[in-house]
Structure 1
Amino acid sequence: MTVLTMSAAEITRFDTLMRLDRGEIPIPDAMELRGLQRRQIYRLLGRLRQEGAAGLVSRKRGRPSNRRYSDAFRAEVVALVRENYADFGPTLAREYLAERHGLGLSCETLRQIIWKPASEKTAQPGAPALISPATGATVAASWCRSTAQSIGGSRTAAHNARCWCSSTTPRAS
């Protein structure tokens, strides 16, 4: 069994398209629910019928951004900061890079390049849900305590536990 990683938006898109495919909702309602035009609804429905749930997963996932700085530029910035400004914070280092080297970076970009190299970056907080393309029913989620409190639910469980998990799986037939 193959397991797909899907975001919450992709799961709701999958649910809406499955309801449309079963005839539970008409096309105009699906258009309104998803905020898409008729053409996109038909395009997504065709992809769902052809490829299953895997067809709705973002094709951009796991690929570097188009706006990402080149590895050569990142290496140059790392070398300059480590050589000349190793004991500086990101704000002061950014100012010196701009003044003396003509490199215009934001503080946050510099912080990400220097203090958190790309090889050590982790996934965004809040694990995405999982769906089985065979059944479309396996859903799992995991939130930290602060997320659990912000979205509601059992405050006692969220307060007493460091992290909590929720999962839904289909019954074995």
Structure 2
Amino acid sequence: MLVTMNDHELQRFAIIQDVLNNKLKRRDATPILGLSYRHLSRMLKAFKELGVQSLAHGNRGKPSSNRISDDIKLHVLRLITERYLDFGPTLVHEKLTEVHGINLSLETLRQWMIADGLWVPHSKRKPRIIRR
């Protein structure tokens, strides 16, 4: 299994390898890692059992538990394209809340509209050139 690691985890990996290869003592490794002796022992045990995966957080690569489902997202985007195509995110948010009873954050709605090409942020709009 492929595990992506950040710099902090790579540093931990190198130090744990040194401890396992007897190049570094556990009590010398604890201040370097900023861990207690007991926690380092737990990490070494997990590293021996699971390998490099034990250094990465267990929730890495999993979707968020409070994520809005794709069905709701598609339903909302269909409503916008059918009824509220000319509206901005704020007005669409108001209409979805009042008329349809769908409560989403304004920023989530704005991001969905940008990703679907229904809204162009002000910073990405073409400047209006006024000739005199």
Q: TM-score, normalised by structure 2?
A: 0.63
CA-CA distance at 1:67 after TM superposition? 1.0
Equivalent in the alignment of 1:91: 90
SS in structure 1 opposite 2:4?
strand
1:46 aligns with 2:68: no
Instruction: Summarize deviations over 1:5-57 as a string: whole Å, max 9, x none.
Output: 21233223323433443452534862x55555555433321122233323323
Counterpart CA distance in 1 for 2:12 and 2:94 is 45
CA-CA distance at 1:69 after TM superposition? 1.0
Counterpart CA distance in 1 for 2:45 and 2:57 is 15
Equivalent in the alignment of 2:14: 15
Counterpart CA distance in 1 for 2:15 and 2:90 is 46
| One-letter identity of the residue aligned with 1:87 | D
Unaligned stretches of 5+ residues in structure 1:
118-173
SS in structure 2 opposite 1:95?
helix
Equivalent in the alignment of 1:63: 62
Instruction: Summarize deviations over 1:113-161 as a string: whole Å, max 9, x none.
Output: 34326xxxxxxxxxxxxxxxxxxxxxxxxxxxxxxxxxxxxxxxxxxxx
1:103 aligns with 2:102: yes
Contact 1:14 1:53 in 2 (8 A): yes
| One-letter identity of the residue aligned with 1:81 | I
Over the aligned positions, Cα root-mean-square deviation in angstroms equals 2.9
Larger helix proportion of the pair: 2
Over the matched positions of the two proteins, sequence identity in percent amounts to 36
Higher CA-based Rg: 2
Contact 1:20 1:27 in 2 (8 A): no
Unaligned stretches of 5+ residues in structure 2:
117-132
Q: TM-score, normalised by structure 1?
A: 0.51
CA-CA distance at 1:66 after TM superposition? 0.6
Does the C-alpha gap of structure 1 residues 66 and 9 become closer, same or farther in structure 2, counting only changes over 3 Å? farther
Contact 2:26 2:40 in 1 (8 A): no
